[in-house]
Chains A and B, each alone.
Chain A
Amino acid sequence: MSNEYAASQDDHGSRTAPLDGSELNQIERDEQALLSVDNLQTRFNTDAGVVQAVDGVTFEIQEGEILGLVGESGCGKSVTSRSVMSLVESPGEIHGGRIMFDGENLLEKSNAELRDIRGEDISMIFQEPMSALNPVFDVGWQIGEPLRIHQDLSNAASRKRAVELMRRVGIPSAEDRVDAFPHQFSGGMRQRAMIAMALACEPDLLIADEPTTSLDVTIEAQILEIIEELNERQNMAVMLITHDLGVVAEVCDRVAVMYAGRIVEYGDVVDVFKNPRHPYTKGLLDCVPDPREQQDTFTPIDGQVPDLSDPPEGCNFADRCPFASAECRETDPRLRAVDDDHYSACIWEDPA
Chain B
Amino acid sequence: MSTHEPLLSLDGVKKHFYENDGLLTRIQPGKQRTAVRAVDGVDLDLTAGTTLGIVGESGCGKSTLAKTVLQLLEPTDGSIQYQETDLTEQSDRERRAFRSEAQMIFQDPFSSLNPRYTVKETLVEPMKVHDIGDSKDERVERAQELLDRVGLGAEYIDRYPHEFSGGQRQRIAIARALTVEPNLIVADEPVSALDVSVQAQILNLLRDLREEMDLTMLFISHDLSVVRQICDEVAVMYLGQIVERAQTKELFENPAHPYTEVLVSSIPTPDPTDTREKITLTGDVPTPINPPSGCRFHTRCPKVIPDADWAYSQEVWRRVLRLKKEVGDGEIQPSVMREQLSKEQADVSADDIVSAIFEEHVVEGGLTSSDRVAVPEPVKATIFEALSLLVDESEGAAYDLLDQEFSSVCESAVPEQHSVSSDHRSVCHLRGDEYAPESQPEIDQQPHDR
Residues of A within 8 A of B (CB): 72-73, 156, 160, 163, 167-170, 172-173, 175-176, 186, 188-189, 216-222, 224-226, 229, 243-250, 252, 269-270, 273-274, 283-295, 297-301, 304
Contacts and interface: CB of A to CB of B under 8 A. Distances in A.
B84 interface: no
Q: Which interface residue of A156, A173, A248 has the most chain B CB atoms within 10 A? A: A173
A63 to B, nearest CB: 21
Given A222-B281, A287-B199, A167 B367 contact: yes
B254 to A, nearest CB: 13
B267 A246 contact: yes
Contact of A291 (B195, B252, B278, B283): B252
Given A217-B263, A221-B280, A291-B225, A170 B332 contact: no
A167 B370 CA distance: 11
A73 B198 CA distance: 11
A246 B369 contact: no
Interface of B: 57-58, 165, 195-201, 203-204, 207, 222, 224-226, 228-229, 248-249, 252, 262-264, 266-274, 278, 280-285, 326, 331-333, 336-337, 340, 343, 360, 366-370
Given A189-B284, A229-B369, A301-B197, A294 B229 contact: yes
B268 A219 contact: no
Nearest to B248: A294
A76 to B, nearest CB: 14
B267 A285 contact: no
A274 B270 CA distance: 10
A217 B222 contact: yes
A248 B369 CA distance: 22
B354 to A, nearest CB: 15
A294 to B, nearest CB: 6
Contact of B270 (A288, A301, A304): A288
Given A73-B195, A222-B280, 13 more contacts: A170-B370, A175-B337, A189-B284, A221-B280, A222-B281, A225-B278, A225-B280, A245-B196, A250-B272, A250-B274, A286-B200, A300-B204, A304-B165
A301 B167 CA distance: 12
Nearest to B278: A221
Contacts of B283: 172
B283 to A, nearest CB: 7
Contacts of B368: 167-168, 170
A244 B367 contact: no
17 contacts: A167-B368, A170-B370, A176-B331, A186-B285, A217-B222, A217-B224, A221-B266, A222-B282, A245-B270, A250-B274, A252-B272, A284-B196, A284-B197, A287-B197, A289-B226, A292-B252, A300-B200
B50 to A, nearest CB: 15
Contacts of A72: 195-197
Contacts of A284: 196-197
B284 A283 contact: no
Contact of A297 (B204, B280, B285): B204
A170 B268 CA distance: 21
Given A216-B222, A218-B263, A288-B196, A186 B284 contact: yes
A291 B199 contact: no
Contact of B267 (A217, A224, A269, A299): A217
B268 A289 contact: no
Given A218-B263, A225-B369, A298-B229, A291 B269 contact: yes
Sorted nearest first, the 8 A-B pairs with minimum C-beta distance are A246-B268, A287-B200, A298-B200, A300-B200, A289-B225, A216-B57, A301-B197, A291-B225
B366 A172 contact: yes
Nearest to B191: A289
Nearest to B226: A289
A161 to B, nearest CB: 12
B271 A273 contact: yes
Contacts of A219: 57, 284
A252 B228 CA distance: 25
B259 to A, nearest CB: 9
A77 to B, nearest CB: 12
Given A188-B284, A216-B58, A289 B228 contact: yes
Contacts of B252: 291-292
A298 B195 contact: no
Contacts of A225: 278, 280, 369
Given A186-B284, A225-B280, A249-B274, A170 B222 contact: no
Contacts of A168: 368-369
Nearest to B271: A249
Nearest to B204: A298
Contacts of B204: 297-298, 300
Contact of A246 (B229, B270, B326, B333): B270
A172 B367 contact: yes
Nearest to B300: A218
A299 B200 contact: yes
Contacts of B224: 217, 291
B95 to A, nearest CB: 34
B414 to A, nearest CB: 23
Contact of A269 (B272, B280, B370): B272
Contacts of A167: 360, 367-368
B225 to A, nearest CB: 4
